[in-house]
Amino acid sequence: MAKFPSEDLFEDTKMSFGEHLEELRGSLTRALGGLLIGFLVGLVVAHYVVQFIESPLRDALEKYYLETDLLRLAEERGEELPKELVAFMSENRMITDEVFVEASQLARLAEEFPRQLETLQKTDDGQESDAKEADVRDEELAFPDGRGMLKTRIWRPLRTRVSSLSAQEAFMIWLKAGFVTGLIIASPWIFWQIWLFVAAGLYPHEKQYVYIYLPFSLILFLAGAATAFFFVFEPVLDFLFGFNRLMNIDPDPRISEWISFVLILPLGFGISFQLPLVMLFLNRIGIFSLQAYTEKWRIAILAIFVIAMFLTPADPISMLLMAVPLTFLYFLGIGLCIWMPKGRNPFAEAYDP
């Protein structure tokens, strides 16, 4: 039984150069038509896509403002905050603001809402709190400034925002999100049209390479992009926002810059995760042997960290989060070279890819 099936969809097809150009034109036309349909669908769901892309940034901003407020309260009290207060602020996403209120307004509120104020002075179990503790709390929360105004602390829900600096920026973000979404939706159709054109000029054993390695390459790319989005963004943003807190500068990120960051970082991770296939390819064509991979692994890991430094932003967290998985993928590449050895005679009919 032959190792490769003799049936070939394109074995009876012979075309001239002009016919190849015509076939290329048809493939590109169909691919662009699919991209246009995907783009229109992407515009419909673009706002949901932007909300999804914004979610890591909004979560990081909420964490930044919440931790900043907790640190400020602890510094004002001069001691560690009660765990109940920290849990309340974290669970309800509440932060504090200091405002000045007229004393006459507080007196009016005390007359209009006596029951509510009395309830606020009680503990959760309905018992009156200690009078001394209440006096200390009153001194901490409000004090007269000598001009008929009282400084008090109010609670408000934590709200974050992502800004745009021009009138057309949000519209351009909507178009960009729609195009990228449409490209992802239409990518199977586009790749299929490209494959139909390329496959016409390939032998059956050459197509076998594509059938074996293309799904593996796609899985590695998606794994790299998912790693960046779900595991890298949060620690990277926490690290970068830590410098905002250190220098007392509140972050006000732009949506366009964040979208570019979201697109570039997963792309870099997806490309870098192709390392096992690159190693296997270089081994197959004889540039690197299996012995070179195993003996020079220390140099390879150093090269991985250097490459990760250029493919990630200028922070050590994202570099480590890329370099560590790539180190494991390097040894996976060695495993592929062992499990899928090159045949002795690459020109033989039974050559196994």
Q: How far apart are CA 27 and CA 178, in angstroms?
A: 23
Q: Do 27 and 130 share a structural domain? A: no
The arithmetic mean of pLDDT across residues 291-313, rounded, is 89
Residue 43 has pLDDT above 70, yes or no: yes
Q: Do 323 and 244 share a structural domain? A: yes
pLDDT score at 166: 84
pLDDT band per the 50, 70, 90 thresholds, residue 146:
very low
Q: Do 244 and 186 share a structural domain? A: yes
Q: Do 171 and 202 share a structural domain? A: yes
The domain boundary residue, chosen from 157, 179, 201: 157
pLDDT band per the 50, 70, 90 thresholds, residue 167:
confident
The domain boundary residue, chosen from 157, 178, 210: 157
Instruction: Answer yes or no: is 111 within a domain.
Output: yes
Instruction: Answer yes or no: is 73 within a domain.
Output: no
- Identity of the highest mean pLDDT range in 57-66, 99-108, 205-214: 57-66
Range name among 63-72, 147-156, 234-243 with the lowest pLDDT average: 147-156
Instruction: Answer yes or no: is 140 within a domain.
Output: yes
Is the Cβ–Cβ distance between 27 and 193 less than 8 Å? Answer: yes
Instruction: Answer yes or no: is 86 within a domain.
Output: no
Which strands, in side-by-side order, build the sheet including 143-144? 94-102, 149-157, 143-144
Range name among 258-262, 271-275, 290-294 with the lowest pLDDT average: 258-262
Is the Cβ–Cβ distance between 278 and 220 less than 8 Å? Answer: no
Q: Do 171 and 122 share a structural domain? A: no
pLDDT score at 154: 82
Stretch (H or E) spanning 50: helix 46-77
Q: Do 223 and 103 share a structural domain? A: no
pLDDT score at 127: 40
Q: Do 219 and 108 share a structural domain? A: no
Q: Do 243 and 113 share a structural domain? A: no
CB atoms within 10 A of CB 47: 14
pLDDT digits (tens, 9 = 90+) for 111-129: 776 666 666 555 444 444 4
The domain boundary residue, chosen from 127, 157, 187: 157
pLDDT score at 297: 92
Residue 194 has pLDDT above 60, yes or no: yes
Instruction: Answer yes or no: is 5 within a domain.
Output: no
Q: Do 297 and 172 share a structural domain? A: yes
Q: Do 307 and 243 share a structural domain? A: yes
Number of domains in the chain: 2
Instruction: Answer yes or no: is 104 within a domain.
Output: yes
Residue 183 has pLDDT above 50, yes or no: yes
Q: Do 238 and 152 share a structural domain? A: no
The arithmetic mean of pLDDT across residues 55-80, rounded, is 88
pLDDT score at 132: 40
Residue 200 has pLDDT above 80, yes or no: no
101-107 own/partner pairs: CB under 8 Å, 24+ apart? 101/142, 101/149, 101/150, 101/152, 102/148, 102/149, 102/150, 103/144, 103/148, 103/149, 103/150, 104/148, 106/150
The residue segments making up the domain with residue 136 are 94-157
User: pLDDT above 90 covers what percent of the chain?
Assistant: 22
Instruction: Answer yes or no: is 298 within a domain.
Output: yes
Instruction: Answer yes or no: is 65 within a domain.
Output: no
Is the Cβ–Cβ distance between 213 and 340 less than 8 Å? Answer: no
Q: Do 224 and 321 share a structural domain? A: yes
- Using DSSP's 3-state secondary structure scheme, residue 348 falls into coil
